[in-house]
Amino acid sequence: MADDATLGRLLADIAQGEADRLAELYDLTSPKLYGLILRIQRDRGLAEDVLQDVYMRIWQAAGAYSPEVGPPLPWLCTIARNRAIDSVRRKVEHQGPNLDEDEDWVARLMDPHDEAAEFMDREALLACLSRLDPAHRDCVVLAYCEGLSREELSARFDRPVNTIKTWLHRSLAGLKNCLETVS
């Protein structure tokens, strides 16, 4: 494993668009990052896909790394960890039953694995969803019904990923509060 100074220089060069430096960073860090990903995403094939996604993210975000904040390896590990967790979440979201095209998206918001969810008041959910900003509501439905990642939502709504995260967080909190008061 390379020292912090070497990794920091590689990230700085990558931020300047030097693709060959990304290959060097990969050679130095991929065993560690792959091991981390594999502990979270136990499927080796998916873990390899996540690793590739991690280095794409590093390529895109290398300019955001700041040595003043901390050493480069924890920054790289955080990217790998987050991507692995997102991969597991997407896998879980996609394991629900196949739904017909005609099925209402409100029904899809209810957890298909939760028998107790059957008592959920459909009208209350519709009322609470209607209170959300239309873009935020669409974001929630696409994330939790269609399984779109935050990055895909970012591209679709032409907003930064952090904005999408904020929309989802606030919308879910609003739905929770609304459903608690309606119930």
CATH of the domain at 37: 1.10.1740.10
Are 121 and 75 in the same domain? no
Q: State how far the Cα of 117 lies from the Cα of 95, in Å rounded to an integer.
A: 17
Q: State how far the Cα of 161 lies from the Cα of 107, in Å rounded to an integer.
A: 27
Q: State how far the Cα of 115 lies from the Cα of 29, in Å rounded to an integer.
A: 44
Q: Mean pLDDT in the chain?
A: 81
Are 23 and 76 in the same domain? yes
Residue 100 resides in a domain: no
Residue 57 resides in a domain: yes
For the whole model, what pTM was predicted?
Answer: 0.51
Q: State how far the Cα of 5 lies from the Cα of 148, in Å rounded to an integer.
A: 37
Are 177 and 156 in the same domain? yes
Work out the burial of residue 103: count CB atoms within 10 Å of its CB; fewer than 13 is exposed, 13-18 middle, 19 or more buried.
exposed
Residue 117 resides in a domain: yes
Please state, in angstroms and as integers, the Cα–Cα distance from residue 8 to each residue in 23, 66, 148, 151, following that order. Answer: 14, 9, 32, 26
Instruction: Give the range of the structural domain holding residue 31, as residue numbers without chain letter.
Output: 4-93
Where does a domain end: 59, 93, 127? Answer: 93
Assign 178 a pLDDT band (cuts: 50, 70, 90): confident
Are 119 and 39 in the same domain? no
CA angle centred on 51, ends 34 and 159, rounded to 5°? 140
- The enclosing H or E element of 78 equals helix 72-93
Are 75 and 120 in the same domain? no
Total number of domains in the chain: 2
- pLDDT 10s digits, 90-125: 765 544 434 445 545 555 454 444 444 444 466 777
Where does a domain end: 54, 69, 93? Answer: 93
- pLDDT 10s digits, 74-93: 999 999 999 998 888 876 55
Cβ pair 157, 135 in contact under 8 A: yes
Assign 11 a pLDDT band (cuts: 50, 70, 90): very high
Are 87 and 150 in the same domain? no
In terms of pLDDT, which residue wins out, 161 or 120?
161
- Collect all residues with Cβ–Cβ distance below 8 Å to 111 and sequence separation of at least 6: 117
Residue 99 resides in a domain: no
Q: State how far the Cα of 84 lies from the Cα of 21, in Å rounded to an integer.
A: 24
Are 78 and 141 in the same domain? no
